[in-house]
Amino acid sequence: PGKMLLARAYYLNDNANEAINVLRSIEKPDKDVSALLEIIRSNGNMSVESLEKMLETNPSDSYALGKLCIAARTIDPQKALEYCERALILDKENINHAIGYGAALVQLKRYGAAAAVLTNLLKHSPENYTIHANLATALFQMDNFEAAKNEYSWIIAKEPEIPIAYYFLAISHDRLQEYADALQNYREFRDRADPDDNMLEIEKVDLRIPILIDQIKRGKGKKK
């Protein structure tokens, strides 16, 4: 059992070769050893498919469920949500499962539920970047621009080189008619944006900035 646990741990941390070495060192391998060895040989390093096969042999593996909570999110967010829930039931003290649950809700566009979960998680882990990033997305999509603005400001304070954070902060200010702050952050985004990765956003900003400058000149928007 000890070597099986070690092999699973290696595999779940993307170290298929070490997992195979441990399994090969077991003197009297049983069917579970053979099954795990076959999964690893067939799939190489960890994938959604291989993790799901591992769950078939041990449905209560909270670590594998936690990995699936993350790995399945972009492929099948509903399934990812279910994996997160199962992981949370088995390992209630692991905040990463709860964070994954909140992120899966964002992926499913259940923004209200996501915001509630993520806001609560911030009480326990106020400096967690992933929580803030997902909460910012949920709040922005709910048109709660005042709260979203605070989250994007926090993200920029922690990671000032991320262009897209300035973009969404600028839009939040813009929607709140805080035009001077919007202009400043659009320009910050423009200075940092990658021409290929941010092409669509750049086009929108380039169209918006001249209009915004004109609005500011005409005294439009909220005054500080």
Q: pLDDT tens digits, the chain, 224 residues: what are they?
A: 578 778 777 766 667 778 888 888 888 888 888 877 776 666 555 678 878 888 888 899 888 898 899 888 888 999 999 999 999 999 988 898 999 999 999 999 999 999 999 999 999 999 999 999 999 999 999 999 999 999 999 999 999 999 999 999 999 999 999 999 999 999 999 999 999 999 999 999 999 999 999 999 999 999 76
Prediction pTM value: 0.78
pLDDT (0 to 100) of residue 41: 65
* Structural domains of the chain, ranges and CATH numbers in brackets: 1-59 (no CATH), 69-142 (1.25.40.10), 145-224 (1.25.40)
What is the average pLDDT score of the chain? 90
pLDDT (0 to 100) of residue 111: 97
**Which amino acid, residue 222?**
K
Instruction: Calculate the alpha carbon distances from 98 to 62, 74, 147 in Å.
Output: 12, 17, 21
pLDDT (0 to 100) of residue 45: 54
**Tokens coding 66:** 């936690």
Instruction: Calculate the alpha carbon distances from 218 to 43, 173, 210, 211 in Å.
Output: 63, 18, 13, 11
pLDDT (0 to 100) of residue 127: 95
Interatomic CA distance for residues 175 and 39, integer angstroms: 51
pLDDT (0 to 100) of residue 36: 77
Instruction: Calculate the alpha carbon distances from 165 to 33, 51, 132, 186 in Å.
Output: 47, 33, 11, 10
pLDDT (0 to 100) of residue 12: 67
